[in-house]
Structure 1
């Protein structure tokens, strides 16, 4: 019986020590980790390279001015971004901008890409819907834009 109590006490001590070490490692790791800057598209400096990443499924084409607002699938209206960005922009257009436009609260729309270095993949996209109301949303994608959020 005494052995069983000792084994139980020993097991609790081991679990407690492992828990302490795991929490300590997690805390040390938390404070010492470098901030994640997300993907790095610095080397994507041509449309051919962007198209290669589209073919591999890493990027998708995105219309800055959506078809619903008269946008066309032409080079001047197309950027190449990770799919999560396309999802965020489509959701913003569908759930925020379109209802505002339908209610007459906004009559002007723009989606402006921001670039860093020679990359053809934007670091951010600013969506603006204005006049008479004012709605602005920045979608940070990579690089310096992620440090601003």
Structure 2
């Protein structure tokens, strides 16, 4: 698991509008759940709002995923957010990878808050 360094509490951020306010304050940034580098669409249903340090962690994981794709180790990726209560900010992002013809997996989870 990868942990963002500063724990946060986003219990009260229960709408996109509230999340956007935190983006404007620099406390959240938008990221794509399924990375654009791997074919993820820039679409609202693929976008979540997270603290800036979470984006940095995701960037490191994306680098590893790209390398694994180039090496033929994975050919499938699923990214799924997990939420606490009614928060619009995910508490975790689970990434699951596999290869249709080979054993093995790389399944990082980003712990956000």
Instruction: Give the alignment's TM-score, normalised by structure 1.
Output: 0.68
Structure 2 unmatched runs, 5+: 1-5
- Larger RCO: Structure 1 or Structure 2 (Cα < 8 Å, ≥ 6 residues apart)? 2
Q: Deviations over 1:114-145 (max 9, x none)?
A: 00100010000111221133001111111xxx
| Partner Cα distance (2:44, 2:110) in 1 | 21
* 2:106 counterpart (123, 128, 135): 135
Give the structure 2 partner of residue 104 of structure 1. Answer: 72
Are 1:71 and 2:40 an aligned pair? yes
Structure 2 distance, partners of 1:97, 1:70, is 12
TM-score, structure 2 length as denominator?
0.88
Rounded to whole Å, the distance in 2 between the matches of 1:72 and 1:107 is 17
**Deviation sequence 1:67-97 (CA, Å, 0-9, x none):** 1111122110000000111110111111x11
Count of residue pairs brought into register by the alignment = 105
| Greater fraction of residues in helix | 1
Larger mean Cα displacement after TM superposition, 63-72 or 100-109: 63-72
Alpha-carbon distance between aligned partners in 1 of 2:78 and 2:55, rounded to the nearest angstrom: 15
Measured on the aligned residues, the alpha-carbon RMSD in Å equals 1.2
The runs of at least 4 aligned residues of structure 1 exceeding 2 Å deviation read: none
Distance 1:107 1:70 in 2: 12
